[in-house]
């Protein structure tokens, strides 16, 4: 397993591994997500999550073990397609963990084809091609091919 220091960057929007890449994609951070109120500012909530749960960075098993409730507590009860984003996050983490071979780190994801990853990601209700592209971008796999 990689250590946090191997993935740490000054830019918290990328480069810290699969757990944070999924979190940022599911909660869809864009410049429009900046708000003056810290409780509604997705970027602020992401920073808080990074600081509170750094072990989730490049370890999907750590995210799975953490569970949905702490994610919801920090990230809020934002919804998409009639369900909590925190639930969708946990579902996609489990879906990736159940791939063969298992996806638990960014390196594991890079070993799979783009098509395999996209099929697993978009199989989760509420997650689609747009946030999948954000996930790949944050993971540094935008040019991922078979």
| Rounded Cα gap, residues 31 and 93, in angstroms | 25
Under the banding of pLDDT at 50, 70 and 90, the label for residue 66 is: very high
Burial class (CB in 10 A: 0-12, 13-18, 19+), 31: exposed
Assess if CATH 2.30.30 describes domain 18-27+38-139: no
> What is the mean predicted confidence (pLDDT) over 111-124?
97
In the chain, what are the domain boundaries?
18-27+38-139
Under 8 Å between Cβ of 45 and 55: no
Residue with tokens 């191997």: 6
Q: Kindly report, residue by residue over 32-56, the tens digit of the pLDDT.
A: 555 555 556 788 899 999 999 999 9
Q: Kindly report, residue by residue over 73-113, the tens digit of the pLDDT.
A: 999 999 999 999 999 999 999 999 999 999 999 999 999 99
Closest by CA to 30, choosing from 133, 115, 121, 119, is 133
**96 φ, ψ to 5°?**
-65, -40
What mean pLDDT is reported for the chain?
84
């Amino acid at each position: 397993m990689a250590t946090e220091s191997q993935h740490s960057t000054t830019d918290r929007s990328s480069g810290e591994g699969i757990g944070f890449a999924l979190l940022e994609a599911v909660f869809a951070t864009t410049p429009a997500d900046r708000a003056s109120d810290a409780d509604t500012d997705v970027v602020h909530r992401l920073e808080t999550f990074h600081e509170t749960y750094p072990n989730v960075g490049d370890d999907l098993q750590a995210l799975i073990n953490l569970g949905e409730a702490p994610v919801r507590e920090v990230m809020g009860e934002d919804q998409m397609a009639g369900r909590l984003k925190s639930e969708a996050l946990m579902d996609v983490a489990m879906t990736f963990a159940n791939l063969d071979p298992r996806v638990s780190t960014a390196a594991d994801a890079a070993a799979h084809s783009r098509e395999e990853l996209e099929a697993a990601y978009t199989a989760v209700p509420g997650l689609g091609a747009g946030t999948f592209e954000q996930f790949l971008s944050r993971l540094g796999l935008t040019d991922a091919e078979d």
